[in-house]
């Protein structure tokens, strides 16, 4: 057990993470491409719905994007706790880089939902609890990005961002249960239900394949973004030290 904990803690060291990500990234990228190939094949070879027709295929990108948008925020929250409680620098890095990815997934989820809504509901947008809470999630992501960039001092930026992320986490259960708590136009959960998925296996298969592809894409981009952020911080530290040394030489 101690060996396992030491191994996990060891991974959280930036140098060790860089070394591991170097080997992990090609495998993750290959897995993403493979999963997307399978997912797209299943999406376009599966039967169409008797009521929705081919429009059901929008679900295979809309639903996984929404799952990733929520998973991304949950990952950010776990890292924000790590940053606030243990002040771990890698936790702060991991929390910070997830925001643009989460914003991209949320945007895809909102827009593909609107594209599905036009032919099915007859409108692009309704002030529905699920749609509105997803829009609030997008605003949260953009707010976190803006706050992080607005504060120059890294320690203060990390703390403020972590607190904002924790406060915003209240929106995640609201998104998930909004279709149960309020009378919404958006349909209730049909995959992640206590009594099993309500979808026919014909639709469930491509949906899960695309879910796996989106998860692999998220993992790839997340690991690569953490690595980029570690390098960026190394360069900033080097620039600051060089400027300090230059100032010292002048005096």
Partner 1 sequence: MTGSQQKPLLTGRLEMNHEHYVLAAYLLTFAVMFMATLKVWLSGRLYRRQIEALAVARRRQARKGR
Positions that interact with partner 1 (CB under 8 A)? 53-55, 57-58, 61-62, 65, 100-101, 104, 107-108, 111-112, 115-116, 118-119, 217, 221, 224-225, 227-228, 231-232, 234-235, 238
Find tokens 């249960």 and name the residue: 177
Q: Whole-number minimum distance, CB 190 to partner 1, in Å? A: 18
The Cα-based distances of 221 to 73, 74, 183 in angstroms read 15, 16, 36
Question: How is residue 18 written in tokens?
Answer: 């860089």
Q: Whole-number minimum distance, CB 61 to partner 1, in Å? A: 4
Does residue 73 contact residue 169 with C-beta atoms inside 8 Å? yes
For the chain, the distance separating the N- and C-terminal CA atoms, rounded to the nearest angstrom, is 54
Bridge partners (DSSP) listed for residue 49: 53
Q: Whole-number minimum distance, CB 91 to partner 1, in Å? A: 20
Does residue 128 contact residue 186 with C-beta atoms inside 8 Å? yes
Distance CA 161, CA 12 (A): 20
Closest CA to 143 of 108, 167, 170: 167
Distance CA 47, CA 64 (A): 19
Q: Which is nearer to partner 1, 156 or 238 (CB)?
A: 238
Question: 30 phi and psi, to 5 degrees?
Answer: -65, -40
Find tokens 């469930």 and name the residue: 204
Bridge partners (DSSP) listed for residue 53: 49
């Amino acid at each position: 057990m101690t060996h396992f904990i030491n191994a996990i803690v060891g991974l959280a060291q930036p140098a060790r993470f860089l070394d591991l990500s170097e080997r992990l990234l090609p495998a993750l990228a290959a897995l993403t491409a493979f999963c997307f190939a399978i997912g797209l094949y299943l999406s376009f070879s599966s039967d169409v719905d008797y009521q929705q027709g081919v429009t059901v295929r929008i679900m295979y990108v809309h639903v996984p994007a929404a799952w990733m948008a929520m998973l991304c925020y949950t990952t950010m929250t776990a890292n924000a706790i790590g940053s606030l409680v243990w002040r771990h620098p890698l936790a702060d890095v991991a929390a910070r880089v997830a925001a643009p990815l989460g914003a991209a997934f949320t945007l895809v989820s909102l827009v593909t939902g609107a594209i599905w809504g036009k032919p099915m509901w007859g409108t692009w947008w309704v002030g529905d609890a699920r749609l509105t809470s997803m829009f609030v999630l997008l605003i949260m992501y953009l707010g976190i990005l803006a706050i992080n960039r607005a504060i120059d001092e890294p320690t203060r930026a990390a703390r403020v961002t972590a607190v904002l992320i924790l406060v915003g986490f209240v929106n995640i259960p609201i998104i998930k249960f909004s279709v149960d708590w309020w009378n919404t136009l958006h349909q209730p959960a049909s995959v992640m239900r206590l009594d099993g998925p309500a979808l026919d296996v014909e639709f469930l298969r491509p949906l899960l394949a695309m879910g796996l592809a989106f998860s692999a894409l998220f993992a790839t981009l997340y690991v690569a973004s953490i690595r980029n952020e570690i390098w960026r911080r190394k360069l900033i530290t080097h620039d600051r030290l060089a400027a300090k040394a230059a100032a010292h030489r002048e005096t």
